[in-house]
Chain A
């Protein structure tokens, strides 16, 4: 596709369950970012991938959060033992790595609700 895609668009889960969120970046974009946005709040950086490696994981809030990327394409964000405070929209963005442009393009997000 032409843009960043994310799935599922909505996820409702029970406290304590694990969830997996998926991101498909724009083809050819080797840089990928995950963000969290709580209701009415700003964007919170979680993790950055360059290719399949993650040189910056500084935003992951706890060890319940992890992410991986394979084939310099799809990325999965996993949240283990979900808590109610994990409820938010999880956004993925991708960026070209060549050139000096830092423009990031966002997917539609996954709205996670933890009951």
Chain B
């Protein structure tokens, strides 16, 4: 089992729909969870961080964390073609170097 797992996709949604991206992790003591967006040929860009159970909303983005079930999700409301990218889930590894463990990413395509 990989430490951080994401469905590779591609996930295809029509413009204006809700895109739902999921991530599961194996380390029960993980404390910090992140979603990064990576456009083709570009570097990852942090879009959401979440540290406690429940929902965290920022504009059209909502991150949801459930530590008991060890999953974190990202909802994108009113999806736009500009949201088409690969979304990377990252989870901290407890320890002194606070290293992030990365999923391989989910490719999202928003169709006009």
Q: Which residues of chain A have a CB within 8 Å of any CB of chain B?
A: 31, 33, 41-43, 45, 48, 50, 55-56, 89, 91, 95, 100-109
Contacts and interface: CB of A to CB of B under 8 A. Distances in A.
Nearest to A111: B41
Among B34, B100, B103, residue most surrounded by chain A Cβ atoms (within 10 Å): B100
B44 A56 contact: no
Nearest to A104: B100
- Secondary structure of the B contact surface, majority rule: loop
Contacts of A104: 34, 46, 90, 100
Contact of B100 (A41, A102, A109): A102
Given A42-B105, A43-B102, A108-B43, A103 B97 contact: no
Contacts, number: 50
Contacts of A33: 99
A100 B100 CA distance: 13
Given A31-B98, A102-B98, A42 B43 contact: no
A45 to B, nearest CB: 7
Contact of A42 (B42, B49, B104): B104
A109 B43 contact: yes
Interface of B: 31-32, 34, 42-46, 49, 51, 88, 90, 92, 96-100, 102-105
Contact of A103 (B43, B49, B99, B104): B49
Contacts of A56: 97, 99
7 cross-chain pairs, A with B, having the tightest CB-CB distances, nearest first: A42-B104, A106-B43, A102-B32, A43-B102, A102-B92, A56-B97, A109-B43
Given A101-B49, A102-B32, A102-B34, A107 B43 contact: yes
A103 B34 contact: yes
Among A42, A105, A109, residue most surrounded by chain B Cβ atoms (within 10 Å): A42
A115 to B, nearest CB: 20
Given A105-B46, A108-B42, A95 B34 contact: no
Contacts of B34: 102-104
